[in-house]
Amino acid sequence: MKCFGGIKTKRTIFITFTFKMEKLPTHIIDSFGRMHDYLRISLTERCNLRCMYCMPEEGVILKENGKYMSKNEILQIAKCFVGLGVKKIRLTGGEPLVRKDAGEIISELSKLPVELAITTNGILIDKYLNMFLDSGLKSINVSLDSLQKNRFKELTRRNQFDKVMSNINLLVENNFHVKLNAVLIKGENDDELLDFIEFTKQKPVHFRFIEFMPFDGNSWDKNKVVSYDTIIEFAKSKYGKDLIRLKDKKNDTSKSYKIAAYAGTFAIISTVTNPFCDSCNRIRLTADGKIKNCLFSNLETDLLTSLRNGENIESLIYESIWKKKAVRAGMTTTDEFTSPEEHRKNRSMITIGG
Ligand code: SAM
Ligand code: SF4
């Protein structure tokens, strides 16, 4: 496996950690024994929407192009991760499909022995449909925070509801595995919960309700979080015995349900009120080539610069993941986690990728 950039140098002894390991790891593990085999790659910090919970109102300052990973650098880093045991790669952003060479990147990554998936806002799906079909990318998550055209526009600050809905229908017609992500925010779209669940009656989609999470610049307020308990109590009150709890897969971040006889299912991602850190297997690679060992951590490891310097990046990957904290970047108490100060140290979501 080649995990070097630039000139190929002799494989160096990569255990430069300050701690001692008996033998070289064969997989990416942290000090709590959690195996990390899922890589989320952000392709860009750009986006064609401006979701109020994700992008700061003033926007984000983009870096010069050379600061972001090129297509070849993405492929090189991805191959390194696959060599270290990564089995699933999800592309995200910003909006991954606004990147001009997104199609080429998807096509190349689809040749790797991994499950390839994408999270998108759905606007450009029709343009990419054939390439998804050709590359075998079947698992697509689409963000959909409202079923009301005007509200969609308010939440995303763009008038793209019709396009997104017609593209979701296109995916369903073409038998893609479709997950719809809705960030529920009190007073903004929580009154649509029943409509979201009813949407799964005819359509074989998996709706996921994500608790509103705090990041730099998103005016997060714990009182705006619609909790797992609230959602389940509501669903029980509406559907009674027809609400069925489904079995979750290993490493699932969501708890899944369905309503008896409905075509689709739904789930809740309870990062705020009930985090799932003990089964976390995720590594995040930002568009500027840094890895984050936790969504809420402000510690980053710069793989891109090392790759460009012709250095071996394996040791950096191992070291970063080894240092991962047990729970949400070390924010163990509710007070710490709900403090805006803590999250101001982190990036805004649009520059992480979810
Ligand atoms: N542009 C793509 C999209 O919207 O699906 C991919 C990037 S977006 C950052 C990835 C996911 O993060 C989306 O499902 C979005 O809803 C979610 N997200 C963004 N900000 C969030 C927040 N503050 N709390 C919870 N989820 C958030
Ligand atoms: Fe863009 Fe996705 Fe963030 Fe919305 S959630 S602003 S679509 S990156």
Q: β-pairing, 254-259 with 243-245?
A: antiparallel
Binding site membership of 275 for ligand 2 (Cβ less than 6 Å): no
Of 26, 44, 43, nearest to 35 by C-alpha is 26
CATH of domain 38-347: 3.20.20.70
Distance 56 CA to ligand 1 centre (A): 13
Distance 33 CA to ligand 1 centre (A): 28
Give the span between the Cα atoms of 354 and 352, in whole angstroms. Answer: 6
Atom of ligand 1 nearest to the CA of 54: 20
Binding site membership of 121 for ligand 2 (Cβ less than 6 Å): yes
Ligand number, closest to the Cα atom of 145: 1
Question: In degrees, to the nearest 5, what angle opens at C-alpha 237 toward C-alphas 235 and 239?
Answer: 60
Task: Report pLDDT for 24.
Answer: 57
Distance 54 CA to ligand 1 centre (A): 6
Binding site membership of 313 for ligand 1 (Cβ less than 6 Å): no
Buried b (16+ CB within 10 A) or exposed e, 220-232: beeebbbbbebbb
* Residue with CA closest to ligand 1 atom 4: 121
Domain spans of the chain, in order of start: 38-347
Distance 183 CA to ligand 1 centre (A): 8
**Helices 314-322 and 71-83, axial angle in degrees (round to 10):** 70
Q: β-pairing, 290-292 with 254-259?
A: unpaired
312 and 4 Cβ atoms separated by less than 8 Å: yes
Give the span between the Cα atoms of 354 and 94, in whole angstroms. Answer: 9
99 and 93 Cβ atoms separated by less than 8 Å: yes
Binding site membership of 118 for ligand 2 (Cβ less than 6 Å): no
* Residue with CA closest to ligand 1 atom 13: 143
Give me the amino acid identity at 143: S
Atom of ligand 2 nearest to the CA of 54: 3
Give me the amino acid identity at 247: K
Give the span between the Cα atoms of 291 and 207, in whole angstroms. Answer: 28
Give the span between the Cα atoms of 116 and 39, in whole angstroms. Answer: 10
Task: Report pLDDT for 57.
Answer: 75
Give the span between the Cα atoms of 82 and 136, in whole angstroms. Answer: 18
Binding site membership of 350 for ligand 2 (Cβ less than 6 Å): yes
Atom of ligand 2 nearest to the CA of 48: 1
Mean pLDDT by 10 residues, the chain (354 residues): 53 43 74 96 96 86 95 98 97 97 98 97 98 95 98 97 98 97 98 98 98 88 94 98 94 92 97 88 97 93 98 95 91 79 81 87
Ligand 1 pocket: which of 41, 48, 139, 181 to mutate (most atoms <8 Å of CB)?
181
Distance 87 CA to ligand 1 centre (A): 22
71 and 105 Cβ atoms separated by less than 8 Å: yes
Of 210, 195, 200, nearest to 147 by C-alpha is 195
φ/ψ of 223, rounded to 5, equals -70, -10
Q: Locate all alpha helices (DSSP H) within 110-219, ordered by sequence.
A: 125-135, 149-156, 161-173, 193-202
Binding site membership of 217 for ligand 1 (Cβ less than 6 Å): no
List of E strands, 185-264: 206-211, 243-245, 254-259
Give the span between the Cα atoms of 321 and 26, in whole angstroms. Answer: 13
Binding site membership of 120 for ligand 1 (Cβ less than 6 Å): yes
Neighbours of 345 (CB within 10 A): 12
Predicted TM-score of the model (pTM):
0.93
Task: Report pLDDT for 334.
Answer: 76
Binding site membership of 121 for ligand 1 (Cβ less than 6 Å): yes
Binding site membership of 218 for ligand 1 (Cβ less than 6 Å): yes
Instruction: Provide the β-strand partners of residue 142.
Output: 120, 180
